[in-house]
């Protein structure tokens, strides 16, 4: 690209107002030029005033689009991610995140990966009760190279906490009516990004794990999830089992390669 790529950072949220407002503030402090990126937040039927809080913000240096949707039982389904992607038709690069905290070079580091061939970049997910950027706190720390360097990884290691891919790859993977580019036949929790990454790798994309594009995700608490009406453990278990089985059948795989 002759100039800096246009970036869209997007996320889905449900009754996590404080977290998503903090994320939009983190994105306001990015080193990447704010006229070259935008943010899309899809509020999945929240009742805690998330959309109102975001729409009331006049201090953000980038364009913020809030998509208010009715509550969907299959939270975080591929259809919701596809809606975010469809809301960013001008983006050269799409950066997908959860309700997380990011560092000032987050957007710039993702953008730097997308100046050559098709690449899907997934980042470290720093987890804890208190904010930490210690790579040892990451379940996938072993995927990094010596000294925490980025390196090519396996497609099953992809997740949506910090994930980016170019628009050109999205269009390669788009096959109507279901793969737009996420497969909307997958519902519930888990494996949406892994299935997308499988198709990306099959199409010739390089899959990279880069701790430097990592995000901090505060641990879920039973009280928080119960207050949102979410049985996180049950949703993760039942959704993952169903979606893993679907992925294996769809692509004729005996099992998933483990990372």
Report how far residue 100's alpha carbon sits from residue 52's, in angstroms, rounded to the nearest whole number: 19
Quick one: pLDDT at residue 126? 95
pTM above 0.85, yes or no: yes
| Helix extents (H) in 46-146 | 50-55, 78-86, 106-112
What pLDDT score was predicted for residue 189?
81
Which domains, ranges and CATH numbers included, belong to the chain?
A: 7-251 (3.90.550.10)
Distance CA 1, CA 110 (A): 15
Handedness of CA 95, 51, 183, 87 (dihedral sign): negative
The pLDDT score that the predictor gives to residue 104 is 98
For position 239, what pLDDT does the model report?
Answer: 81
One digit per residue, the tens of pLDDT, for the chain of length 259 reads 458 999 999 999 999 999 999 999 999 999 999 999 999 999 999 999 999 999 999 999 999 999 999 998 665 689 999 999 999 999 999 999 999 999 999 999 999 999 989 999 999 999 988 999 999 889 899 999 999 999 999 999 999 999 999 999 999 999 999 999 999 999 888 899 999 999 999 999 999 999 999 999 988 666 555 556 666 666 667 788 899 999 999 999 999 999 9
**Tokens (6 digits) for 101:** 């905290």
List, in sequence order, every residue forming a beta bridge with 216; answer none if it has no partner: 101, 126
């Amino acid at each position: 690209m002759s100039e800096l790529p246009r970036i869209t950072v997007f996320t889905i949220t449900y009754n996590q107002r404080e977290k998503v407002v903090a994320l939009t503030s983190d994105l306001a402090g990015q080193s990447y030029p704010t006229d070259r990126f935008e943010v899309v937040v899809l509020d999945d039927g929240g009742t805690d005033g998330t959309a109102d809080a975001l729409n009331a913000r006049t201090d953000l240096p980038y364009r913020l689009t809030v998509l208010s949707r009715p509550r969907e039982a299959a939270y975080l389904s591929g259809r919701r991610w596809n809606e975010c992607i469809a809301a960013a038709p001008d983006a050269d690069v799409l950066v997908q995140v959860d309700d997380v905290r990011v560092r000032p070079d987050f957007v710039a580091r993702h953008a730097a990966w997308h100046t050559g061939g098709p690449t899907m970049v997934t980042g470290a997910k720093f987890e804890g009760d208190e904010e930490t950027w210690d790579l040892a706190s990451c379940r996938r720390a072993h995927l990094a190279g010596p000294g925490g360097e980025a390196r090519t990884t396996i497609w099953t290691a992809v997740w949506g906490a910090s994930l980016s891919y170019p628009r050109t790859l999205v269009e390669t993977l788009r096959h109507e009516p279901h793969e737009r580019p996420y497969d909307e036949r997958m519902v519930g929790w888990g494996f949406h990004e892994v299935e997308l990454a499988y198709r990306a790798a099959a199409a010739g994309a390089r899959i990279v794990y880069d701790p430097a594009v990592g995000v901090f995700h505060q641990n879920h608490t039973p009280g928080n999830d119960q207050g949102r009406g979410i049985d996180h453990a049950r949703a993760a278990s039942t959704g993952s089992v169903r979606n893993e089985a679907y992925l294996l059948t769809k692509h004729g795989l005996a099992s998933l390669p483990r990372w």
